[in-house]
Amino acid sequence: MQSTSLPNNEYWFIFQNDRLLFMKNSQYQLPANDVLSNLKLHFLRQHKLGLFNKIICYCAEIDPQILLPEDIEPIPLRKALDILSIDWYVAATKASSIINWDKNHQFCGRCGKATQHKPGTFERLCNTCGLSLYPRISPSIIVLIKNKDKIIMSRSPHFPPNTYGLIAGFVEVGESIEEAVHREVKEEVGIKIKNLHYFGSQSWPFPDSLMLGFTADYASGEITIDHHELEAADWYRYDNLPGRPSSSISIAQKLIDHFVAEQNKSTYNR
């Protein structure tokens, strides 16, 4: 993404109906100064995100009823993250999360009264009962399960055609991350795993996950699919995978790329 058309080293991540606004007539830049002043008239909320790549970033939400200027295009966040360079992933995902937090915590969940934003923070406070409301992060696990040169790939009914992913799910209250991995694998495909290793993590703002990636080895059992969660799951060799994850920047893709590279290297060295 280029910064040439934006003045004062400011970037604005502006959302309307959960879509991020881009300039239509350029190479997908964020809204430039000449349209920004007009858009600002219709902001429902705005927050300073902080400094990213030496540029001060802000996020805002624009009234869903407002007709956008012709040179502005609203793009779903998932596609927007593919468009923005990886350098802007953190700023864009934070922008989305902050807007959702602010929108969803206008009222206190305990006493029902209106909350107030505490200036300079990402905190909304209920002055009636004292409850503080922060942006929520939901830890989720994703695991690449290996058996020699094969891995388990699976499809949920809501996946786009020809896309496959890895076993994943939310961490439940009361359990450790490791327990969550073993439980999800057992629930979704009915097998046991061993040698669980942490791989890395990724913020995944759909809507508020923090994905914790793992690799594991097959231990025992036959694949038995939970058809409430999955429509397909099976073992696939590294050079004959059935499809890719729906997002090229997902940690699922990184886990798979890492496994395939390892296999190619060991084949080469054989």
Where does this chain bind Zn ion (CB under 5 A)? 108, 110-111, 126, 128-129, 131
For residue 132, the minimal CB distance to Zn ion (Å) is 10
Residue closer to Zn ion, measured from CB, 19 or 105: 105
Which CB atom, from 111 or from 261, has the smaller least distance to Zn ion? 111
3-state secondary structure of 163: strand
Question: In the bound complex, what is the minimum distance in angstroms from residue 104's beta carbon to Zn ion?
Answer: 15
- Name the residue nearer to Zn ion (CB basis): 127 or 267: 127
User: Cβ closer to Zn ion: 51 or 129?
Assistant: 129
Q: Where are the beta strands (DSSP E) in 40-117?
A: 43-52, 55-62, 72-76, 116-117
Six-digit token string for 171 = 């961490």
- Residue whose token pair is 């991020």: 20
Min dist CB 108 to Zn ion, Å, is 3
Residue 48 near residue 213, CB atoms below 8 Å: no
Smallest distance from Zn ion to CB 102, Å: 17
Q: Give the C-alpha distances (Å, rounded to integers) separating 36 from 8, 11, 49, 95, 99.
A: 13, 10, 17, 17, 18
ω before 161 within 30° of 0 (cis)?
Answer: no
CB burial of 130-149 (b: ≥16 within 10 Å; e: otherwise) equals ebebebeeeebbbbbbbeeb
Q: Are 216 and 191 in contact (CB under 8 A)?
A: no
Burial class (CB in 10 A: 0-12, 13-18, 19+), 258: middle
Comparison of 128 and 195: residue with beta carbon closer to Zn ion: 128
Q: Which is nearer to Zn ion, 59 or 108 (CB)?
A: 108
Q: To the nearest whole angstrom, how small is the minimum distance from the Cβ of residue 47 to Zn ion?
A: 21
Shortest Å distance, C-beta 110 to Zn ion: 5
Tell me which residue has tokens 């994703």.
Answer: 142
